[in-house]
């Protein structure tokens, strides 16, 4: 752990000059604002450290246990010989993390490479129940060379269980030999839930989701590691980076990146009306990290009530974008629209591949400067230029950067953002681990789908829909 901590500073740089009043004027944090953070941030850190000690923040130490990495590597060696496609059936915290890390760490064209070049199965994360999407995915798969990893901590999520039931039946009807258990891996609660019962009844191979680890904090457990190992991601490297971050999360606030991210964003929301936090990766490989972070920040911090039951009047909505693509769609409003956002860039110092722009069309002054430069340097300049433009326009922004998109750096980033979320929960005084706001919609869905015990919700829906007839344009 100590050695990993020494290397840690190179995994993630945090530059928050653009949040200060010195840089962006009154929209930024003044020295007094910053001084006011010291007490609450120290208290929040102490609180999360205590919760961790009591086992309530078990995600913090997932990287300390390397056995799963070894076991999943064995599974991967077996799967590599047998399968061309691995499909994750899951949603929310059971899907977004694997998708983010797969996109970050495998070549962006992994799923399109020939079997020989790819060397590992393709990965598909089926995190929706759109019938056209799911049918289209199944249509491309060969059951003999496909493995499904159904992931649901509760084992009851309607979306995941529907996908699972379809996939189960699809395999049962198509496999030449009755070897269903070889094509299904289940990741679920070690003891409870209907999926656990099915595992036992059908003799399926199962991996546990640690009970004290919530969905959106679970990517470094079997939830993420099993599918990632199956497609050849270096899960040991990922855990190495995460362990370094976990150790850094125990440092005092001034040198603790997770605490700084939590504290500064909390101040921006509470004192500067910055109710939105836009995460903008400037790398296609990190695009899905923004999707994953969206869920983590929003589901953890968007709460009606504080832990003491009082109304929670503060908060921050995470939004996602992609550089440079969204410079041509969202940047205008970041620059001149409502003064309600903090922009958090996520850059990469060195791309794994770069392309040189050929030195042609020199006779055109508007193009001549591009020739001989690389796309990587263009992307990096666009990030720097956009950050500077926002700063000059009095728009608060900060920049995270990875030296390169390596397993260690991605592990460090993921772990840091998870810890920042937990620390933010403590600063806002809310429970970052629950999601009461999503339950009511689920109950209406159960009612509409005829689940026993949810008739009341069907009646309430019908009453509501009668009342809603007035303003429909057919």
Residues engaged in binding ligand PA5 (CB under 6 A): 91-94, 152-154, 157, 160, 214-216, 299, 435
Q: What is the 3-state secondary structure (H, E, C) of 84-105?
A: CEEEEECCHHHCHHHHHHHHHH
Task: Answer yes or no: are the C-beta atoms of 267 and 24 closer than 8 Å.
Answer: no
Other beta carbons within 10 angstroms of residue 372's beta carbon come to 11
Tokens of 192: 């409870």
Measured from each CB, the residue nearest to ligand PA5 is 215
Other beta carbons within 10 angstroms of residue 374's beta carbon come to 14
Angle at alpha carbon of residue 256, lines to 279 and 26, rounded to 5°: 55
**Which one from 288, 299, 320, 341 is the annotated catalytic residue?**
299
Closest distance of CB 305 from ligand PA5, Å: 18
CB-nearer residue toward ligand PA5: 347 or 425: 425
Closest distance of CB 452 from ligand PA5, Å: 20
Closest distance of CB 91 from ligand PA5, Å: 5
CB-nearer residue toward ligand PA5: 322 or 433: 433
Active site residue 442: yes
Q: Measure the CA–CA gap between 117 and 404, rounded to whole angstroms.
A: 23
Closest distance of CB 187 from ligand PA5, Å: 9
Closest distance of CB 154 from ligand PA5, Å: 3
**Which one from 13, 73, 442, 443 is the annotated catalytic residue?**
442
Calculate the CA dihedral of residues 259, 264, 266, 269 and round it to 10 degrees: -160
CB-nearer residue toward ligand PA5: 94 or 256: 94
Chain CA centroid to CA 169, Å: 30
Other beta carbons within 10 angstroms of residue 397's beta carbon come to 27
Helices H / strands E in the chain, number of each: 19, 10
Tokens of 309: 């039951």
Residue 146 belongs to what H/E stretch?
strand 146-152
CB-nearer residue toward ligand PA5: 48 or 89: 89
Q: Measure the CA–CA gap between 159 and 162, rounded to whole angstroms.
A: 5
Exposure of 401 by Cβ count < 10 A (0-12 exposed, 13-18 middle, 19+ buried)?
Answer: middle
Closest distance of CB 395 from ligand PA5, Å: 31
3-state class percentages of the chain: helix first, strand second, coil last, to nearest 5: 60, 10, 30
DSSP assignment string, 169-206? HHHHHH-SSS-GGGGEEEEE-SS-SHHHHHHHHHT-EE
**Which one from 116, 328, 469, 470 is the annotated catalytic residue?**
328
CB-nearer residue toward ligand PA5: 38 or 305: 305
Task: Answer yes or no: are the C-beta atoms of 68 and 222 closer than 8 Å.
Answer: yes
Residues contacting residue 3 through CB under 8 Å, at least 6 positions apart:
none
Calculate the CA dihedral of residues 374, 376, 381, 386 and round it to 10 degrees: 140
Active site residue 328: yes
Closest distance of CB 215 from ligand PA5, Å: 2
Closest distance of CB 300 from ligand PA5, Å: 8
CB-nearer residue toward ligand PA5: 157 or 426: 157
CB-nearer residue toward ligand PA5: 91 or 402: 91
CB-nearer residue toward ligand PA5: 149 or 152: 152
| Residues labelled catalytic | 299, 328, 442
């Amino acid at each position: 752990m100590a050695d990993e901590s020494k290397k840690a500073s190179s995994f993630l740089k945090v530059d928050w000059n653009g949040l200060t009043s010195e840089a962006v004027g009154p929209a930024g944090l003044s020295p007094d604002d910053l001084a006011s953070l010291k007490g609450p941030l120290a208290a929040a850190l102490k609180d999360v450290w205590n919760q961790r000690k009591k086992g309530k923040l078990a995600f913090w130490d997932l990287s300390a246990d390397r056995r799963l990495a070894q076991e999943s590597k064995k599974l991967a060696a077996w799967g590599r010989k047998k399968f061309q496609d691995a499909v994750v059936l899951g949603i929310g915290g059971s899907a977004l993390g694997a998708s983010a890390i797969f996109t970050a760490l495998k070549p962006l064209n992994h799923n399109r490479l020939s079997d020989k070049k790819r060397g590992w199965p393709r990965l598909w994360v089926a995190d929706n129940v759109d019938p056209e999407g799911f049918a289209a995915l199944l249509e491309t798969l060969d059951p003999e060379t496909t493995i499904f990893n159904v992931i649901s901590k509760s084992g009851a999520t309607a979306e995941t269980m529907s996908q699972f039931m379809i996939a189960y039946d699809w395999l049962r009807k198509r496999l030449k030999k009755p070897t269903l258990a070889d094509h299904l891996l289940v990741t679920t609660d070690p003891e409870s839930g209907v999926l656990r019962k099915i595992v036992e009844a059908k003799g399926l191979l199962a991996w546990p989701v640690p009970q004290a680890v919530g969905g959106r904090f679970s990517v470094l457990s079997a939830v993420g590691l099993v599918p990632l190992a199956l497609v050849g991601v270096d899960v040991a490297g990922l855990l190495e980076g995460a362990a370094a971050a976990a150790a850094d999360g125990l440092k005092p606030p001034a040198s603790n990146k997770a605490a700084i991210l939590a504290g500064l964003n909390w101040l921006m929301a509470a004192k500067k009306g910055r109710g939105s936090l836009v995460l903008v990766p400037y790398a296609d490989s990190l695009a899905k990290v923004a999707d994953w972070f969206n869920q983590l920040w929003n589901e953890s911090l968007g709460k009606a009530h504080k832990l003491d039951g009082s109304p929670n009047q503060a908060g921050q909505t995470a939004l996602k974008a992609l550089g440079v693509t969204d410079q041509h769609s969202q940047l205008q409003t970041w620059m001149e629209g409502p003064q309600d956002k903090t922009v958090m860039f996520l850059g990469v110092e060195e791309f794994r591949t770069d392309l040189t722009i050929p030195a042609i069309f020199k006779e055109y002054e508007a193009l001549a400067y591009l020739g001989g430069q690389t796309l990587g340097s263009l992307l990096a300049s666009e990030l720097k230029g956009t950050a500077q433009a926002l700063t000059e326009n009095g728009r608060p922004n900060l920049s995270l950067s990875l030296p390169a998109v390596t397993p260690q750096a991605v592990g460090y980033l993921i772990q840091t953002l998870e810890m920042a979320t937990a620390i933010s929960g403590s600063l806002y005084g809310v429970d970052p681990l629950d999601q009461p706001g999503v339950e009511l919609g689920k109950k209406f869905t159960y009612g509409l789908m005829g689940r026993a015990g949810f008739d009341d919700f069907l009646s309430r829906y019908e009453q509501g829909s009668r009342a809603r007839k007035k303003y429909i344009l057919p």
